[in-house]
Structure 1
Amino acid sequence: MTTLATAASVRPSQSHPRLPFRLSLADRRFLGGALVTLVVIRLALMWWMPFTDTTEARYAEIARKMLETGDWITPQFDYGVPFWGKPPLHTWLSALGMYVFGVNGFGARIFIFLSGLAVVALSGLFMKRQGGTHQALVVMVVLFTSVLFFGASAFVMTDMVMVLGTTLSMVAFFTCVTDQSASKIWGYLFFVGLAIGLLAKGPTATVLTLMPIGLWVMIGRRWTGLAALPWVWGTVVLLMLTLPWYIAAEIKTPGFLRYFIIGEHFERFTVPGWTGDLYGSGHARAKGMIWIYWLGALLPWTGFAAWLLLRPKAIAEAVNAGSPDWHGYLFLWAIAPMLLFTPAANILAAYVLPGVPAASLLLVSLWATIQGGPRRTVKTIFGLAVVGTTVLFLAVTLTVRFSPETLSLKSQRALVAQATQIDRNIRLTYWGGRSYSAEFYTQGQARATTDKTVLSALARDGITDAVAVNTDALAEVAPVLGDRFTTIGIFGRYTLLAEAPLNGKS
């Protein structure tokens, strides 16, 4: 059985002796400062960046409705309409954040962001146990500067909370079965991680955890190590944390389990262009596209990984010099999302996120073992990564804020702000489909219609109204609204028309 002491040791090969990986004090300060700077920047961006349709705004609005209605069992897609698509852990976190910090973007995002930071910290702790403090610092910076992880770390959606669960389970499992001196709490944390995944995403999280673990155990015939886990009491903990909500949700809205288990976890991934989605549509992609998403998710470190792959002999020596158990575990963990979703007919780029912490750990471990010795290029490599990630997301944030139509991200914050300047009690109607960000920024008051009789009645209802119309449909809608409505401005793809405030009040 491999111990952590063995895994952490670096045994230089006889033909290519290597020095242990070390960073100078200046480099450690630089990386620590870079990590703190990235955290501050991400906090600022999540405060400043508006919600954009559809994904983040939809989940934020579901959380806002949870807080407003006080229904903490069943998330609501619309008032009185249950949202069966995902479990509620991320919704609970966003609703709790808005309860503490107010109904705004910061409140909705802050606890998601803390989940992301917990993943970074777990990855650093895992690397510290295996390769030392210096490698731990490097891996935290690599993970946090990975494009997809940096963006998703404060994005209101299910994935980052699920990644916290899968990462906790993977770290806890390896620690428990390979280190006889480790605290028994790691065995229970494995089951706690499974519970987090089941409450954040559902059975998919369990598969993404047990698949790489099962392959690692079978390939290495490590069956005896499984006895280290508290299977009976750990399972009790798992069931106590998860079953109450699943049972309560099915009792409160019968039909939830059938839709969630079969629809969301079978038909969504096997039926191209799945039409059974109650809350949108399937995301049909070419099978195997998940691997392309993975390469993009790891930027700017994809090129660094390619540099390593061009040195297969050095990689083989690094694996042997370190720990085959350790590197094999990371490899299987890293590719698990791709193995699962390669045959899937409906995928999103975020589906690769559970493997990104493992990919960062593997990349740093191999690089540190191959290079060894003191580093001379840390500031150059990581300085470019930090600057590149910061500039990219700052550019996106500025674009969304001042020119949302450029990226077709459809933020409605500016439109809602302009409408409420006309009359703070104005009623906003969208011609066509719903706008979740408009619903969020109007506290659920924005509505949508495709009925022209509803539009024609607005001028006679005794309420100050505003109408947001896709500019392409303006010629069709303007005559229906009549002369009382005037054009206020163009916001992205929408033109805002409004009545004058009744009695001149605003």
Structure 2
Amino acid sequence: MQTEKNFSIWYIMLAFVLLVGPFALSFHMHYPDEMYYSDAAVKMLQTGDIQTTYLGSGELRFKKPILTYWFVLAGFELFGVSPFSSRLLFLLAGAATIGFVFWAAKIFFKDYRVANLAALIMASHPVLILSSTRSIPDVLLGMFMAMSAAGFVGFLKYGNDTPKRYSWILYLGLAFAFEVKGLPAAALGGLGLLYLLINPWQRIKLSKLAYFPALLAGLFIASYWFVAMYWIHGADYLNSFVEDQVGMRVASRYLLVSQNLLIASVLMIALFVPWFIFSFKGFKKYFKELFSEEKAFTGFTVLWVIAILLMSAVVSKFYERYLLPVIPMATVWLAWLLIRNGILEKVKLMKGILFFFFGLNFLILIIGVFFNAMLPTSFWVWIQIVFTALILLYLAIKSKRGNDLPLAISLSVLLLFFGVSISTYQISLPDAGQHVKQYAKKEQIALGSKIGYLGHLHTGSKIRIGLGPEYFMTDMNEKNFDQLYREFDYLILEEKHLSKLPVDKYDVELAALNWDPKYFTQMFKGIWDGNAEEVKFKTGKKFYWAKPL
């Protein structure tokens, strides 16, 4: 492990941004829920109303608090409407989460190796990485809960002599987390505060915990959007919010609850890949030792982990990203355990794991070279390929020094996402939104035009980002298409919906064509046989621009 003097958390955070960035900042993959936030942010730019959130169809949506929408909106305001700007602040939030984890560990532990290892584990956690590539609430919730965790750790460290800055960190972190996702932050925060008041090992006086300037500031932030929506829309908006937070997400069937609990428990351990491997031997022994040494800290971590497992168990559909709010705290504890368990002496095992990831990265690189050698590509992709090869060489050099192995393992996990983007460049880019943007520019479509859209809503969201706020695009569905399509200056239709359009009244042209990943075998064969464009046209996803005659 690098010494405290030459270990820089800024280096790890920068490596995270640079290696995850190519995959995150274009639509190599597009997560379904992103459309709710980017569609609403485009509407905010068009209307100037930054309080109210709308779907692409123009319907109101109150299922989540406002802060995620504002992160997307801030990216659009700073850098223009694009895939890059919709996700940039979420990628930076992922990097900031690593910083908060490092800081929390450094607050509590005198052994600098714990903080260093915690940062490396957090940087390579697949849930953090994937959440940082999507403009949805989870990575923001994780970041702000990591921020609040640093505040909680301050109280666990200093007790009733805790400096006031930790009150600010704790309450502001929880307040922002609540404005991201609502009840999960409130539940974890409430449990954490109750624990500080009643745990028998490090009780905090109520007068100390209730530091009113920080507490009131937190309450103002947490309640702001809810008060604003009540003022603007009345109490009806709460029905949608409560249904999403409680009604739709809570399962009542015992089998489903048991299944979710089992999956969540397994993933809580398994997703710390590959670091959990080092904890198997002597886990029971070292757990008892750590609990005996720091009962309040270990008890708090266990409480939060159990709480998130139980909350994940009762949802109607479980996603691994639901675990992210407590992963920062669990990461700090795991790093502490691994240092005590002698991870730094397990050189052979670390080298074996590094060589596994090295081989996986090399295979991904070869696939990327194949795709880009067989198809037209960008000069920058070849730069990325060369850069990947140089990093692999760097990792090979790092593998010779035992102290550098944890850093090399963490970087090798991050490099997987950097390498995958080399191949997905050919599959996904330019996305349908960028194709339609180019088409509108080529055809000189008038700014301010009203455009109706009928097709897959996730693709529609990418098209809305491609067109930007200068065009007013509205999502339609099959039920209302016949009543609405005449109201628009232009239409964009997915291929399967063309039959609904009276062809004698519209001029129809192909505006976007992308590979369909479900036809990967045909795509690979077409590339190998040299007729990729023909196969792409036959099996790809097509979207058409319709102009009234």
Short-chain TM bin: 0.7 to 0.9
Which residue pairs with 1:58 in the alignment? 36
**Equivalent-residue separation in structure 1 for 2:410 and 2:344 (angstroms):** 22
Structure 1, unmatched stretches of 5+, are 1-22, 274-283
8 Å contact 1:269–1:347 — kept in the other structure?
no
Matched letter for residue 60 of structure 2: P
* Residue 402 (structure 1) aligned with residue 426 (structure 2): yes
Which residue pairs with 2:399 in the alignment? none
**Equivalent-residue separation in structure 1 for 2:288 and 2:302 (angstroms):** 16
* Residue 496 (structure 1) aligned with residue 543 (structure 2): yes
CA shift in 2, pair 1:412/1:215, >3 Å: farther
- Spell out the pairing of 1:293-308 with structure 2 (5 A cutoff): 295-296=266-267, 301-308=272-279
Bigger Cα displacement from structure 2, 441-450 vs 119-128: 441-450
**Equivalent-residue separation in structure 1 for 2:415 and 2:190 (angstroms):** 35
- Spell out the pairing of 1:22-421 with structure 2 (5 A cutoff): 23-25=1-3, 33=11, 35-49=13-27, 52=30, 54-78=32-56, 81-131=59-109, 132-179=111-158, 180-214=160-194, 218=198, 220=200, 222-270=202-250, 288-289=259-260, 292=263, 295-296=266-267, 301-316=272-287, 318-319=289-290, 322-371=293-342, 376=347, 377-392=402-417, 394-395=419-420, 397-398=421-422, 400-404=424-428, 412-417=432-437, 419-420=439-440
* Residue 485 (structure 1) aligned with residue 496 (structure 2): no
**Equivalent-residue separation in structure 1 for 2:462 and 2:306 (angstroms):** 34
Bigger Cα displacement from structure 2, 482-491 vs 135-144: 482-491
**Equivalent-residue separation in structure 2 for 1:368 and 1:448 (angstroms):** 54
**Equivalent-residue separation in structure 1 for 2:287 and 2:47 (angstroms):** 57
- TM-score, normalised by the number of residues in structure 2: 0.72
**Equivalent-residue separation in structure 2 for 1:130 and 1:157 (angstroms):** 31
**Equivalent-residue separation in structure 1 for 2:319 and 2:339 (angstroms):** 32
**Equivalent-residue separation in structure 1 for 2:487 and 2:189 (angstroms):** 56
Which residue pairs with 1:6 in the alignment? none
RMSD: 3.9
* Residue 437 (structure 1) aligned with residue 462 (structure 2): yes
Bigger Cα displacement from structure 2, 350-359 vs 212-221: 212-221
The CA deviation at 1:354 is 0.3
Matched letter for residue 541 of structure 2: Y
The CA deviation at 1:39 is 2.2
**Equivalent-residue separation in structure 1 for 2:9 and 2:167 (angstroms):** 32
**Equivalent-residue separation in structure 1 for 2:95 and 2:112 (angstroms):** 18
Structure 2, unmatched stretches of 5+, are 348-401, 517-539
Which of 482, 490, 494 is the aligned partner of 1:468? 494
CA shift in 2, pair 1:168/1:83, >3 Å: same
Bigger Cα displacement from structure 2, 302-311 vs 112-121: 302-311
The CA deviation at 1:478 is 7.6
What's the secondary structure of 2:495's corresponding residue? strand
More helix per residue: 2
Give the % identical residues: 15
Bigger Cα displacement from structure 2, 152-161 vs 431-440: 431-440
Which residue pairs with 1:12 in the alignment? none
Matched letter for residue 442 of structure 1: L
CA shift in 2, pair 1:351/1:252, >3 Å: same
The CA deviation at 1:249 is 0.9
The CA deviation at 1:254 is 2.1
8 Å contact 1:315–1:370 — kept in the other structure?
yes
The CA deviation at 1:384 is 3.2
Matched letter for residue 402 of structure 1: Q
**Equivalent-residue separation in structure 2 for 1:421 and 1:225 (angstroms):** 64
**Equivalent-residue separation in structure 1 for 2:279 and 2:343 (angstroms):** 14
